[in-house]
Amino acid sequence: EDANIRAMVSMQEQFQVPVGYSDHAPGWTVVLGAVTLGAKVIEKHITLSRKLDGPDHPHSLESNEFAQMVLNIRQIEAALGDGVKRPAEDEMPERQWARRGVYARIDIPAGATLAPEMLYCVRPCVGVAAEHLSQLVGRRLRDHLTAKEPISLDVLRDSCCTPTRSVSERTGGTQARSTSEGSGCLVTAS
């Protein structure tokens, strides 16, 4: 509670330089907090034994503890990431199954105009993602759809966007992004 590591953040903001933290608390919990808040340099005493005489030994780390502190710092640095929100690598295979797509609730004949009561959103997201449901309403079908069939841009007579396709190595699927202004369509397929 006396560590006040937020003072380090205030100094960084005021002086616009990299900051560090000099720790004299037992253990290394405060050090991990400082790293999380942006410390670029850490000072921590190391000793052969905390039982030795001297003012710094009781608050110092023994060599095995120092090694563990460094490992924990590296884990914190990795966990902080780069600040860009995206699914983790291990989430990618499950992403298609976790997201919802738009499906035909009933058989819909070719030429029909899509209405909300004809559509529903369920897992997995195979065609148009659920967040784009409103962009499908009012569109006309080029092809017949059967009940429970996923909606894709291919079946629309007047596509809501002009997709450009690129293979996604992470998902093994295809992504299509809108090239038309403001439509924001996103389609995923495997």
* Residues 6+ away with beta carbon under 8 Å from 75: none
Each residue's pLDDT tens digit in the chain (190 positions)? 789 999 999 999 999 999 999 998 999 999 999 999 999 999 999 999 999 999 999 989 999 999 999 999 999 999 999 999 887 777 777 776 788 999 999 999 999 999 999 999 999 988 899 999 999 999 999 999 999 999 998 888 865 543 333 333 333 443 333 333 333 333 333 3
Give the pLDDT score at 66: 96
36 by Cβ neighbours in 10 Å (0-12 / 13-18 / 19+) ranks as: middle
Give the pLDDT score at 6: 96
pLDDT digits (tens, 9 = 90+) for 102-154: 999 999 999 999 999 999 999 998 889 999 999 999 999 999 999 999 999 88
Q: Report the C-alpha gap between 151 and 189 in whole angstroms.
A: 11
Amino acid at 87: P
Strand ranges in 85-180 using DSSP code E only, listed in sequence order: 101-104, 119-122, 163-167, 174-178
> Is 110 within 8 Å of 139 (Cβ atoms)?
no
Q: Compute the CA torsion angle 101, 107, 109, 111 (nearest 10 deg).
A: -30
For residue 113, the tally of other CB atoms under 10 A from its CB is 12
Domains of the chain, by residue range, sit at: 6-80, 89-189
How many alpha carbons lie under 13 Å from residue 170 in its C-beta half-sphere?
Answer: 12
CATH architecture of residue range(s) 89-189:
Alpha-Beta Complex (3.90)
